[in-house]
Structure 1
Amino acid sequence: MLPALGLMVACGGGDGLEATEDAPALRSTKAAAVTEQCQPRTVYTEDHLSATYDTYVEQASPDASHGTSVMLVSDGSPRQETYLDFRFSGFDGFIQARLRLFASDGSTNGPALYKTQSGWTDTLTWNTRPAPVGTALGNVGEVASGSWVEYDVSSVVKGSGAHAFVLVPEGGNGMDFVSNEDPRRELRPVLVLTHAHTVCTYQGSGGGLTQAVLRGGGGDEVVQALATTSNGGHVVAGVYTGAGSLGGATFPSQGGLMLGRFHPDGTHEWSRAFPQASATLTVTSVTLTPLGNVLVVGGYAGTPDFGQGPLPTSPYYGTFIAKFSPVGQLTWAKGFTAGLVTGDGYDPLPIRANAVATDANGSLIFTGYFFGRANLGGGELYAGPGGGAFDDAVPGMFIAKYSWEGVHLWSRAYEGGLWGAQGEGLATDSAGNVLLAGYASRNADGSPVLGATHRENPLVAKFSPAGTLLWSRALNGAQGRMVGVAALPGDAVAFAGNFTRRFTFAGQTLESTQADEWDGGNADVMLGALEASGTDRWARKHGADAAESVSKVAVDAQGRFKLAGISGGAVDLGGGLIGPTRGNDPQSFVASYGPDGAHQWSRIVGTNHSDPLVAVTPDGTTLFGGTLRGITHVGPTPFGPSRGADLLLLKLAP
């Protein structure tokens, strides 16, 4: 078990670690050339093959067949034997084969498994049954009812073909197994073929692992937001349950909001818990003001209280904004709800904050989506006629600004049109202008919303410090969302997100890999830059057939883009394929691009790692974090196991 402070690993120039205390099925069959430079790792995948035929035979009824029975019986008295036949092709190259059966009725002495001849069907009887061949392949002994039984058959199943087996009882206490005819598909017999694949986990130059921290207590710590401090440290925010910890005192076991701040070397500075008796919370974004105050936004259901009185009750998604001091003490908090007045009364509806930003004055600016009507402090906002209380409702977008004292300064809403609108990312530039990333859709009458002329067009918009819309740039023709935005030197605007189909930018048409499929296919990554005036500078597309989804974006002082997200298997983020080409387990990725969008490096983290987060320190170091549940790999190196859900944070060289 890991101590509450977690495990810290310090590294040299590469990924050789020395411990010190303190996805849908892929359409592509391409594989990356595995070299030492790509930090190869062996991954394992399984094929689960159903039995072609399965039945049992009984000595007392020698001419009877039981091929339609929902169970398979093996018993010594009366004598009954179970037969299974697996016939397959195209699944060669496996390293292990296992027969798995579910015992609906157990035994003090389970049957032995033998190989037998194939060629029979479900009409098999006692009189026509083939005899066992050779010695027993396995014998399981006592088996509990309601458990899985497994036999290793690797010695006889070495490739495609027909592979038949018989279960021979060894006593009078018989067993019943679920058959291929049982309606519970997940309990049917399977032949499990295990494959080993050596895959690349890294491409490019740079991004070497210099430190890894695994941190958590006995409860679950789900870190949902990450921001860096001016001295190279970092702050995390999220939720916890049980006896949670981020390295300091154990949190109250009730569960609730957690915050933590860490020194540049990764050691614990402080952590705070805000337990909730009557609410469940989600944190969506965190940032720090110039004076080091911590601004947090998120969603809730119930009636949260951070210590200064309850926020408005919401049975669904309410949203909160909160300010904490540089040492994590609550300064103020506000909660907001949404809904509609109907003939039957008031229908509560969701409202959710997706991103928070600040400016030189320490203001709190946030954006997100809502349904129905909401008041953020400046009067009623309307999500549009499509945002009502019905199944196919679509959200509208909001953006609002508050002073450092929590006083409402302004708020705006944009109707969702036919397919919805959301604010997804926020930043401010040197003049205090507000940069927004998200998506919008045209109205039913054809009029655009923030320049969007069709369905879910990704967009970037710029507002003055007083909330006046200065310009918006929608990627019409594309479908997707802009998830991040940042100010570049000279107040140019960086953006990144996900898209399908195609759009034109700076005179160039970019299209997703599967743009011509009826639904646009899997999404690809886009990133680009706009001039401070809103005119196009450049845009790039990265991705292959796999579905990659960017979730977080950061830009460093040198204008380098850092993206974090999830892929459903092997992915090409601009430098070549990384990750397994078989299987669909989600993999977290992080990638770096130059100021012109050219790929610098990308790497993938194994399974059991979720909620990927990214931030950059003043010296250009990338912080890549997420929630670990189990064991995962960074390159060939395993990390974990976690105790429930813990924080895994990687520090990567520029």
Structure 2
Amino acid sequence: MEDSDMRAWDGGRVGLITALLGTALACGVSGPESEPLEGAGFESPNARALPEDVGSGVGSTLRFTPQADAHVQEAQPTANFGSAQVLEVDGSPRSETYLRFTLAGLTQPVVSAKLRLFSTNPSSHGPAVYAAAPAWNEGSVTWASRPSRQGAVVVTAGAVPLNAWVELDVTPLVSGNGTVSLALIPTGTDGADFRSREAVDRKPELVVTLDAGTAPETRTLGAVADAYTDNAQEYANFNTEELRVDDAPSQMESYLRFDLSVLTGDVVSAKLRLFVLKGSSNGPAVWTTSVDWDETFIQAASEPYVESGPVANAGAISEGRWLELDVTGAFLGARAISFGLMPESTDGAAFASRQHPNAALRPQLVVKTARVSCTPSSGDSPASGTFLGGQSWGGPGYQSATGVATGAQGQRVVIADYDGSVDFGGGALPNHGTGDISDNDMALVKLGADGSHVWSKGFGAPGSWVNGTDVAVDTTGHVAVVGHSSAGVDLGGGLIAAGGFVAKFSPEGSLLWAHPVEGYPRNVAFDGEGQVFTVGDTGVAPAHALLVFKFGATGTQVWDKRFPVTVAARGEAIAVGPSGELVVGGSYSGTVTFGATVLPESPAAPFLLKLLPSGQVAWARGVLADSYPYAERSFLDLAVAPDGTIAGVGSFSQWIRLGTAQGYSSGMYSGFLLVVEPTGSDRWWRWLGNEHSTFARGVAIDPVGDVVVMGTFRGTLDFGGGPRTTQGDGQGPFEGIFVAKYRLSCGEHRWSHQISDGGYVWTRGLSVAPDRSISLTGQYVHGFGEGFPEDGDSSIRAALFQFSP
């Protein structure tokens, strides 16, 4: 297969949920054993835990088979041997071998890493092992295109026996999850051959042993409430010793609720166990439901709201036996969970309830929890995430800070919408419209590293609604913005017609250039050369399309890419990688075409797209999602680390699949964090959700390799370090902001905080300064604590919130 061939894929296979069990359980293999194209998709890391290898003081040992291996021959410089069942290493005629592994599930520090090869041709001088550049393709690599060696020799094999395993210590090359690319270089003219991954058996493997860490903790929880309902007796309550499920002659549904407040750590496995009193040819399906119901009052007329599912399906069940259902996907961090047992057949089933006289037969929820940890990165320091306060700006009407970016010296630039005349610190900015909310203006506000006002500017046009959607700052302090206007906007160089726009300003706030942009641009980014990239969408039928634009540093349009969709698409986020590559995220409905890749049809699914600096598609992927059409599921923000690792956040309803894990929203919306290798394979992921709506809206990667995530939620939610609870009153919990930090390499939780004060709050922009301090922007109403006052007319105020590293 050529490098230009692309394929879509639905996500990685091993992530945080699987990884957390790395010290005790296998990281399951999913999907065929085939290697990813260079930047074009992937298959799963083949990994399995080997408890029999565990010794005193060490944790589990995982074996990984290559995702790619091939040898190359100097005598045939354009020949490819990627499909061969042998790997050759010889000094005459010269042959070299290359192997690439993708590692996931490494949740503890690495104790050792051994490359194991099965020899089919002996040698008195075996190969030397080097690190190799990872960007090569098994189906096309040749002597002429072979990857470069990186660094010094790591280990030399010595004599290689016939028909035996050769084990080489490559521990210095394995520090955690990610890609490991190896080169086998000859040390003599007596060549050695080894079996490749295409062989029937005895394939190459990388054996990684981890530190012992902490084994998962198992708890068995009893239901705190359960009952069934019968639609033939709409107002009757059945809080009895059994739970019934049937579809005819009347419909019976059962509900169970569990208190999760005793759990510590992340849920890595959860099994619902029910004792069967009456069997069925097709037992119930398990759905998540709302948690606010009382077992003594629940009736068919007032059943809990069904949220998402089915999480599990029982199939045929036998009387007098335990039914065990895997419901792990329903655990997103909430402190309570409720399940509904929904009928799938008319030969009803029954189960022992928590009122059953035999306590041993009552419902159980068996939950395993653990906390992931990994080796700190270079330059790591203690982290606290202390809330440092911030600023707010207001006046009559509607104000909202929609984005923030931080420069190399720590100065922050905020983009905001404002209605009326608002003082952002340098005097009241004018209102170019009528003052009505439909005639918002856009403000750019530059603040010093200490928060002091540097300059602020307002932009608009009479009778026009102007929405600034994002802002970026490059290393020299130049500012890029994107937005949309209903009737035009003057950014300082004359009126730009209605529609989208992109502009670049000097560090002092002077307009350098501005252009109209088709559609609705939603996100903007700089590369290291001061070039500007935008992503958005047409937003109109019938020519729906995702749009990506590239502008040179002086404003010349370099290229634009239009990716057609059959129904609709939203381009929400764009980020630039270390080599100028682009990562784009958002959502699509129907199908969407990225180069040669057509993502599968879906009513609403998140997508990720990687483009080369030229605009050529490197790879594209969709996230498998529920078929329920009236939903929003999308990536909302992206960040790229210096090594090309991608972090993305978003929100979803019903369910989506990340790696091996299917997550079911227990509220209207839940959030997610996904970390992806540069080649597209999933490294780890985290679910964020409870019985209320949770939105993960911002992500950034700080200078030492921590992932910062922010958004909004209500109620109680565990972000990985214990529950965080927003304030509330008799009417329920208030809306709050959350900020959390995780290690990029493995997903280890560093800290998480919430702030709430009784008002409504909404967040959008997130930025991390060179000193690792954190800024996020948004809006609030009705006050938000000290430093965030309430306007007398209950106007909506724009806000900037700040946290320490």
Do they fold alike, i.e. is TM over 0.5? yes
Aligned partner of 1:335 among 501, 513, 516:
516
The one-character-per-residue Cα deviations of 1:536-580 (angstroms, maximum 9, x if unpaired) are 222222222221112222221223222232335444444324225
Compared CA separation, residues 31 and 540, structure 1 to 2 (3 A): closer
What is the distance in 2 between the residues matched to 1:488 and 1:505?
20
Deviations along 1:306-351, whole A, 9 cap, x unmatched? 23222224xxxx21111111111112212245xxxxxxxxxxxxx2
**SS of the residue aligned with 1:563?**
strand
Is residue 647 from structure 1 mapped to residue 798 from structure 2 by the alignment? yes
Pairing 1:418-497 to 2, within 5 Å after superposition: 418=567, 420-443=568-591, 451-477=599-625, 480-497=633-650
Q: What letter corresponds to residue 687 of structure 2 in structure 1?
A: K
CA contact 2:638–2:648 (8 Å) conserved in 1 = yes
Give the corresponding residue for 1:212.
390
CA shift digits 1:362-407 (9 cap, x unpaired): 11111112145xxxxxxxxxxxxxx22xxxxx94311111111221
Count residues in correspondence: 412
In structure 1, C-alpha distance between the alignment counterparts of 2:733 and 2:618, rounded to whole Å: 43
Partner of 1:359: 527
Q: Is the 8 A contact 1:278 1:304 kept in 2?
A: no
Uncovered stretches (5+) of structure 1, i.e. residues with no partner? 1-26, 34-89, 91-203, 338-350, 373-386, 389-393, 515-520
Q: Whole-Å Cα distance in 1 between the matches of residues 442 and 403 of structure 2?
A: 12
Q: State how far apart, in whole Å, the 2-side matches of 1:298 and 1:608 are.
A: 25
The equivalent of 1:406 in structure 2 is 555
Q: Spell out, residue by residue over 1:259-312, the C-alpha distance to the aligned partner (whole angstroms, 9 max, x if none).
A: 111111111111112242242101111001222111010111012222322222
Distance 1:573 1:533 in 2: 27
- Say whether the 8 Å CA contact 1:492–1:531 is kept in structure 2: yes
Q: Contact 1:355 / 1:426 at 8 angstroms: preserved in 2?
A: yes
Q: What's the offset of the Cα at 1:617?
A: 0.9
**747, 772, 775: which one aligns with 1:597:** 747
- Does 2:235 align with 1:235? no
Query: Could you tell me which residue of structure 1 aligns to residue 732 of structure 2?
Result: 583
Shift of 1:528: 2.0
Pairing 1:268–2:434 present: no
Change (3 A) 1:531 1:580: same
Q: For residue 459 of structure 1, what is the amino acid of its counterpart?
A: F
State the identity as a percent.
25
Query: CA offsets, 1:83-136, max 9 Å, x none?
Result: xxxxxxx9xxxxxxxxxxxxxxxxxxxxxxxxxxxxxxxxxxxxxxxxxxxxxx
The answer to whether 1:623 aligns with 2:771 is no
Which residue in the other structure is 1:326 paired with?
507
Question: 1:55-204 alignment to 2 at 5 Å?
Answer: none
Q: Distance in 1 between matches of 2:776 and 2:801?
A: 5
Indicate how the Cα distance of structure 1 residues 370 and 229 shifts in structure 2: closer, same or farther if over 3 A, else same.
same
User: Could you tell me whether the CA contact under 8 Å between 2:677 and 2:683 is conserved in 1?
Assistant: yes
Counterpart position of 2:538? 370
* CA–CA separation in structure 2 for the residues paired with 1:243 and 1:502: 44
Q: Structure 1: how far apart are the matches of 2:773 and 2:398?
A: 28
TM-aligned CA deviation for residue 352 of structure 1:
0.9
Structure 1 residues 554 and 605 mapped into 2: Cα distance closer, same or farther (>3 Å)?
farther
> Does residue 1:567 correspond to 2:713, yes or no?
yes
Secondary structure at the residue paired with 1:639?
coil
Partner secondary structure for residue 643 of structure 2: helix
| Corresponding letter in the other structure for 2:390 | A
2:481 paired residue number: 296
In 1, are the aligned partners of 2:459 and 2:489 still within 8 Å (CA)?
no
- Deviations 1:184-236 (CA, angstroms, capped at 9, x unpaired): xxxxxxxxxxxxxxxxxxxx972112343334567764322111111112100
Aligned partner of 1:547 among 693, 696, 699: 693
- What SS does structure 1 have at the residue aligned with 2:691? coil
Distance 1:326 1:353 in 2: 22
Please report the TM-score for the alignment, with normalisation by the length of structure 2: 0.47
How far the C-alpha of 1:649 sits from its partner, in A, is 2.2
CA contact (8 A) 1:510 1:541 kept: no
SS at match of 1:277: coil
Match of 2:288 in 1: none
Which residue of 1 is the match for residue 424 of structure 2? 246
Give the equivalent residue in structure 2 for 1:632.
784
Q: Structure 1 CA distance, aligned partners of 2:524 and 2:622? A: 21
In the TM superposition, 1:23-34 aligns within 5 A as none
Query: Structure 2 counterpart of 1:259, which letter?
Result: L
Match of 1:498 among 628, 651, 670: 651
Q: CA 1:425/1:498 → structure 2, altered by over 3 Å: closer, same or farther?
A: same
Letter in 1 for 2:635: M
Contact residue 588 and residue 612 of structure 1 kept, 8 A: no
Q: Is the 8 A contact 1:589 1:605 kept in 2?
A: no
Aligned counterpart in structure 2 of residue 534 of structure 1, from 640, 656, 680: 680
Report the secondary structure of 2:602's partner residue. Answer: coil
Matched residues in 2 for 1:220 and 1:480: separation?
Answer: 27
**Equivalents in 2 of 1:321, 1:32: separation in Å?**
48
Instruction: Go from structure 1 to structure 2 and tell me whether the alpha carbon gap of 1:211 and 1:448 turns closer, same or farther (over 3 Å shift).
Output: same
Could you tell me whether the CA contact under 8 Å between 2:416 and 2:798 is conserved in 1? no
Letter in 1 for 2:448: H
Deviation at 1:530, TM superposition (A): 1.7
Structure 1 counterpart SS, 2:548: strand
Deviation at 1:487, TM superposition (A): 1.1
Query: Counterparts of 1:578 and 1:543 in 2: how far apart (Å)?
Result: 13
Judge conservation of contact 1:397–1:422 (CA < 8 Å) in 2: yes
Contact 1:441 / 1:449 at 8 angstroms: preserved in 2? no
| Displacement after TM superposition at 1:463 (Å) | 0.4
- The answer to whether the Cα contact below 8 Å between 1:321 and 1:333 also exists between their aligned partners in 2 is yes
Give the structure 1 partner of residue 179 of structure 2: none
Relative to structure 1, the CA distance from residue 638 to residue 333 in structure 2 (aligned partners, 3 Å threshold; closer, same or farther) is closer
Pairwise CA RMSD: 3.2
CA contact (8 A) 2:669 2:695 kept: yes
Out of 257, 271, 274, the position equivalent to 2:442 is 257
- Return the alpha-carbon distance in structure 2 between the equivalents of residues 329 and 404 of structure 1: 15
**Residues 215 and 279 of structure 1: CA distance in aligned 2, closer, same or farther (over 3 Å):** closer
Could you say if the C-alpha distance between residues 432 and 334 of structure 1 is closer, same or farther in structure 2, counting changes exceeding 3 Å?
Answer: same
Unpaired stretches in structure 2, ≥5 consecutive residues: 1-255, 263-293, 295-381, 434-440, 627-631
**Contact 2:592–2:598 at 8 Å: present in 1 too?**
no
CA contact 1:428–1:434 (8 Å) conserved in 2: yes
- Tell whether the 8 Å contact from 1:484 to 1:495 is kept in structure 2 after alignment: yes
- In 1, distance between residues paired with 2:395 and 2:687? 41
SS of the aligned residue for 1:232 comes to coil
Q: What corresponds to 1:277 in structure 2?
A: 462
CA distance in structure 2 between the partners assigned to 1:426 and 1:284 by the alignment: 13
Q: Which residue of 2 aligns with 1:126?
A: none
